Amino acid sequence: ALAVLVPKDLVGRRIVVSAGGTREALDPVRYLGNRSSGRQGVAIAIAAAARGADVTLIGANLEIDVPSSIHVLHVVSTLELAAAVELAARDADVVIMAAAVADYRPERVAESKIKKDEHGDRLTLELVRNPDILATLGESRRPGQVIVGFAAETETDRDRLLDLGRAKVARKRSDFLVVNRVGWNEGFATEGNTVIVLDGRGDIVIEASGSKASVAGRILDVLARPGA
Ligand code: CTP
Ligand code: CA
């Protein structure tokens, strides 16, 4: 009965959503990772599919179940995510980068388990920068393609949070940036979310707070607007 209330305003739109958090291998049994569960990105994929979009979800180490009706590509590392997004973006109308992407990866991946007796009391890891997937999408976008980034920030002051978001949206050349505050107890792995969506000029488009499903709906409302 609820389904009839969902607007089918994304029919024919091809939407790629990345979700979760990438992991960078240190050795065969260990990785560097982050606390993203994938909840917000998966909620966006589910809501977009319900509104008629043709959705591809690229999931990095999702900690939640995805309905079998959603087409999911599973990746682990940032380089895998980059390759999957680049391919999927080629014929996408909208790309939403909700994944928390590791900024660095270990320069070398040990072929066997790192042992304490080889390192003693201190172990130094050399990390190298990962490619910036969102910035690459922003540079290589086709006319009409809409690129949406997320910004996870621990900044608590609203004005400074907005300044960080504005700098980020300019740097990434994305059409929209969903700014959300994350911390030990908010953002990642939680049920609810509070976001501010900026457009490419850094102007506030919407502010939304509530369940990740309702926040997903508000973000998609922006993308469903004529001209978006
Ligand atoms: N992102 C990406 N590739 C990376 C790093 C981030 O595509 N190597 C994307 C994320 O998916 C997100 C956006 O860029 O949509 C912003 O990520 P965030 O970590 O907030 O920004 P960074 O540019 O990495 O800056 P910093 O972490 O230094 O604040
Ligand atoms: Ca980052």
ipTM confidence: 0.99
Encode pLDDT of 169-217 as tens digits.
999 999 999 999 876 666 666 778 899 999 999 999 999 999 999 999 9
Ranges under pLDDT 70 in the chain: 1-4, 183-189
Farthest CA pair distance, the chain:
63
**In 3-85, where do the E strands start and end?**
14-20, 24-27, 30-32, 54-60, 71-75
Query: Average pLDDT of the chain?
Result: 94
CA of 120 to the centre of ligand 1 (A): 34
- Tell whether residue 133 is among the known ligand binding residues: yes
Residue 60 neighbours by CB distance under 10 Å? 28
Counting ligands in written order, which one lies closest to the CA of residue 153? 1
CB 23 within 8 A of CB 32: yes
CA of 117 to the centre of ligand 2 (A): 33
The ligand 1 atom nearest the CA atom of 150: 15
- Tell whether residue 203 is among the known ligand binding residues: no
Smallest CA separation from ligand 1 atom 23, residue: 168
- Tell whether residue 132 is among the known ligand binding residues: yes
Q: How far is CA 87 from CA 57, 90, 178, 201, in A?
A: 13, 6, 23, 28
CA of 1 to the centre of ligand 2 (A): 41
Smallest CA separation from ligand 1 atom 21, residue: 151
pLDDT at 2: 59
The verdict on whether 61 is a catalytic residue reads: no
Q: Where are the alpha helices (DSSP H) in the chain?
A: 39-50, 78-89, 133-140, 158-172, 212-224
Give dist(CA 146, CA 158) in Å, integer.
26
- Tell whether residue 113 is among the known ligand binding residues: yes
Residues enclosing ligand 1, CB less than 6 A? 78, 97, 99, 101, 103, 130, 132-134, 149-152, 168
CA of 69 to the centre of ligand 1 (A): 28
Give dist(CA 153, CA 145) in Å, integer.
26
Counting ligands in written order, which one lies closest to the CA of residue 154? 1
Counting ligands in written order, which one lies closest to the CA of residue 165? 1
pLDDT at 62: 98
